[in-house]
Structure 1
Amino acid sequence: MPAIAGIRLEFFIFAVILVCVALLHDFTMWVALIGLVSLLCAKWFFVPDFSLIEHLLGNAQHEGEWRIMLNLIGLLFGFGILAKHFEESRLPDILPKYLPDDWKGGFVLLILIFIISAFLDNIAAAMIGGAIAHVVFKGKVHIGFIAAIVAASNAGGSGSVVGDTTTTLMWIDGVNPLHILHAYIAAVCALIICGVIAAFQQDKHQQIIKDAPSGITVDYKRLLVVGLILISAIITNYLFDFPALGVWLAILVGSLFVDTPWSELKNAFSGTIFLVSLVTCASLMPVNELPPASWSTALILGFVSAVFDNIPLTKLCLEQGGYDWGVLAYAVGFGGSMLWFGSSAGVAISNMYPQARSVGNWLRHGWHVAFSYSVGFAILLAFMGWHPHAPHKTSPTSSIITVETK
C-alpha cells in the first residue's frame, strides 16, 4: 500500500471522506458510499490477499464486523419505528404539564434522556428525547439543543455496561462493570455544563409549550409496544449481545395489535446507509497499535472518536490494556457527541432533524459539547486520578497499577 511520509493511502482516503461529509452535508450518504468504494478499490489493487468477505464474516484470527453492522442497521431502523410509536402515543403532548415552563424545561428533558440512556441503548434515548423535543418545542429545535440531546444520551451510557456499545464491548471482553462506573463523575459534570447552555439556546430560539392541550387521549397500546421494544432489546443484548434481534421481535409482535409506522423505514434509510458505510470505512483503517496507555492518550481518543468509529478504537484499547476503563469509557462515549456523525445516536437523530447534518452548524451552535467534554475530563482526573488496570485477560482480578495523576 503506498504511503506518504509514513502515512498509508487508506488514511488519506478516509480524511477526504470526512472532509466531504463536512462540506457536502446534503449528500452524506453518497459521499460515504463513494468513499467506501474508493477505499475498497485501493485495498483490492494494492493488497492482493485482502478479502471483504473475510473482513465482514471473519476467520480464525478475526471475528468479523458482521455483528456490529447488523446491529447498527437493525437498531437505526427499529428505533426509528420506536420513536414514531412514542410520538403517536400522544404521551409527549401531555409532558408540558410536568416540565418547567422556562429554560429549565429543556434542561430537565436532557436529564431524563441521560437517565434513560443509562438503562437503554443511547440510540433509543436520543430518539425518544428527540420525539419529545419536537412536540414541546413545536418542531423548532435549536441545533445546539439537538447536539445536547446526543451528548446527554452518550453521557448517560458512558458509565453503564448496558447503555452504550463501547461499554457493553468492555463488559463482554471481561472488564468489571464497577471499573467503568466512575465515568459518571465526568458525564454528570459535562451534562450540567452543556445542558444549561443548550437549554438557554433553545429557550431563546423557541420556548417550551407552557400548557398541554386539553382532551388528549394517550394511546397505551403504542406505549406498550415502546416498552416491549426496550425490554426486548435489553434482554437480547444481555443474552446474545444482539439487541437488534429483540427490537425487531417486539416490533413484529406489536404489529399484531397496533398499526406499525413502516414508512419510518424510508425516512431512516439514508442515515442508516451513511453510518454503516462510514463505520465500514473506519474498520478498514490499518490501525494496529495505539500510543502508550495514559490519561493524555484517553483524552485524545475522545476527540478522535468524533470522526473515527469508537468501536474499533475501544477494541484496540482492550487488546492493549493498561487503561483506566472509566476514563476511557467517558472519553470514547461522550467524545463522539462533538460531531453529528461521531456516534450512532447523532446519526439516528439527524434522520429526525435533517438540519443537524452540518458540521459547521454543529460546531458553531454545539460548541458547548467539546467544552463540557474537556471540563468533565479534567474534573474526573482531579477527583479520581488516573488508575490504569492491568490487562484483564491475563489478570482476572484486574489488579490496579499504582500510577496516579497529581
Structure 2
Amino acid sequence: MPALLQFILIGLAVIALLGVVLEDVIHVNKAKVTLFLGTLSWFLLFIFHDAGHEGAVNEGFLENISEIASLWLFLVAAMTFVAYLNKKGMIENLIHLFLPKQISERRLLFLTAIFCFVFSSLADNITATLVSVTLILSLNLSTKKTVRFATLVVFSVNSGGVSLITGDVTTLMIFLANKVSILDLLMLSLPAFVAVLALAILLSRGMTETVNVQIRRTDVRGVDLAIAGIFLTTIIGTIVSNVLFNIPPVLTFLLGLSVMFLVARFYGEDEDETPILEYIRVIEFETLLFFLGILLLVGMLKEIEVLDALVRMYEVLPPVVANYIMGVLSAAIDNVPLTAALLKAGITMSEAEWLGLTYAVGVGGSLLVIGSAAGIVAMSKVSGLTFGSYARYSFLLLIVYTVGYAASMFLAETVLGAG
C-alpha cells in the first residue's frame, strides 16, 4: 500500500474524531461527519490499493459490513422494544414502583449505579443504557445533574458487563479464545463494583437536594404486559441460547421482535392509531448512522494494519502496564477490533493478566463518551451530554478505572497466581 494513501486514511480518521469532539463548535452533526469520512476512506482504499489485492480489500470490507449489519439489526430490535414500552409507560411504571415519592440525590445516585451495574450484567449494554437513561430523564433534573447521572450510567453499564460473557462482546471474545474461564470472570464483578461505588462517591459531592419523584401510573393493557414479557424473555433467552448453543444475540433479538409483532397483531394492536411497526421509525437512526461511520473507520484502520502496530507495545512493556494502556486507548479505538488484534497476535500472558485485559478493554471505553456503545447511546438520548460535558469527568473516570484495574489485577494474582 502506498505510504501516502496510508497517511491520508489515518488523517481522515483523525479528522472524523475531531469532528465528533468539535461538534458544538462546527455545528455539523457527528453522524454526518463520520458517515462521510468512513465511506470515503473505504472508497479510496478500493481505488488505490496495491495491485493484486482487490480480493483482500473486498473481503475486509464485507467482513466489516457484516459486523456493522449485525450491530444495526440488534440495535433496531432492542430500540424498538424500548420505544414501545416507553411510549406505553411500562418503563416509567416499573421505575416508580421502586422509587419513593421523595429521595435524596445522593441516594438516587447510588441506586442508579447499582441498578445499571446489575442490569447490564444480565442484559446487553445498549439495552441497559436505554432503560437507565429513560429513568434519569423521567426525573426532570437540571442539565448539569443529568449529565452527571448519565456519566455514572455509562461507567456502571460498562463495568457491569465485564464479568459475564453475555454482558460484553470483548469478554465473550476472550472467553471463546480459551484465555479465561467463566468462574474466573466472575471474580471481576467485585473490583468492577468497587470502582462503580468509588465513582458514585466522587460524583455525589454537592448532591444535597431532594428529588421529588412524580409518581405517574398509566393504564397497563394486556398487550403491553405481553410485550414486556416478550422483552424480558428475549433478554433471558439471549443469555441462555448464547451460552448453550452459541446463538448470536442479534438472532435471538430478531426472533423476539418478530414475536412482538405477531402478538400485537393477535391483540389487535395494529388497528391502533400507532401500528406496532411504526415504532421502528421512532428509534434514533442518528445513533445508528454514527455507529456506521465510526465502525467503517475502525474497519479501515484494521484493514491497513494500523491497529496491529498497537500489539508491539507488549514487546517493550510488561503485560500489566500494556493492558492498562490498551484500556485507555479503547476510549478512542473501538474495543472489539482492538481485542481481536490482540487475540490474533499470539501474545503470551498468564490467566490473571488476561483477566486484567478483560477489565481494561471492557471499562476503559468509559473514559470518553465516544469510547463505548453505552456512551454513544447515552449521548444520543441526553441533549446536554456532549463530548465536552462528558470530558469534564474524564479525570475522575480515569481514577476509578485505575482503581478497578488495580483491584482486578490484585484479586486475580492472589487467586490465580502469576501463572
- Provide TM-score, normalisation by structure 2: 0.81
Report the aligned-residue RMSD.
3.0
Indicate if the aligned counterparts of 1:137 and 1:207 stay in contact, CA closer than 8 A: no
**Alignment partners' CA distance in 2, 1:172 and 1:73:** 23
Indicate the residue corresponding to 1:322 in structure 2: 348
The offset of 1:112, in angstroms, is 1.3
Partner of 2:380: 351
1:237 counterpart residue number: 242
The 2-side partners of 1:30 and 1:120 are apart by 30
Asked whether 1:373 is paired with 2:401, we answer yes
CA distance in 2, matches of 1:348, 1:249: 23
Write the letter of the residue equivalent to 2:188. Answer: A
1:304 partnered with 2:329: yes
Q: Is the 8 A contact 1:298 1:328 kept in 2?
A: yes
C-alpha displacement of 1:79: 1.8
Deviation at 1:343, TM superposition (A): 1.1
1:135-163 residue CA offsets vs partner (Å, 9 max, x unmatched): 23469661121121111111001111111
Listed one character per residue, the Cα deviations across residues 51-72 of structure 1 (whole Å, up to 9, x for unaligned) are 5531143xxxxxx334422221
- Which residue is equivalent to 1:151? 155
Contact 1:83 1:131 in 2 (8 A): no
Q: Is the 8 A contact 1:74 1:244 kept in 2?
A: yes
CA distance in 1, matches of 2:11, 2:141: 43
Match of 1:92 in 2: 92
Q: Does 1:129 align with 2:132?
A: yes
1:164 aligns with 2:168: yes
- Residue 262 (structure 1) aligned to one of 268, 273, 278: 278
1:175-254 correspondence to structure 2 within 5 Å: 175=179, 176-199=181-204, 203=207, 208-210=211-213, 212-213=215-216, 217=220, 219-238=224-243, 239-254=245-260
SS in 2 for 1:341: coil
Distance in 2, Cα, partners of 1:42 & 1:65 = 16
C-alpha offsets along residues 382-406 of structure 1, whole Å, 9 cap, x if unaligned?
Answer: 4444999xxxxxxxxxxx764xxxx
- The residue type paired with residue 13 of structure 2 is F
Unaligned runs of 5+ in 2: 270-275
Question: Could you state the TM-score of these two structures normalised by the residue count of structure 1?
Answer: 0.83
Of all paired residues, the percent bearing the same amino acid is 20
The worse-fitting range, judged by mean Cα deviation, of 158-167 and 123-132 is 123-132
- Assess, with a 3 A threshold, how the Cα gap between structure 1 residues 275 and 304 changes in structure 2: closer, same or farther: same
Equivalent position SS for 1:255: helix
- The aligned length equals 381
> What corresponds to 1:44 in structure 2?
46
1:104 shift after superposition:
0.9
| CA spacing shift, 1:138–1:154, aligned 2, 3 Å | same
Q: Distance in 2 between matches of 1:50 and 1:21?
A: 31
For 1:145, give the aligned amino acid.
Answer: F
Work out whether residues 162 and 168 of structure 1, in 8 Å CA contact, stay in contact via their aligned partners in 2.
yes
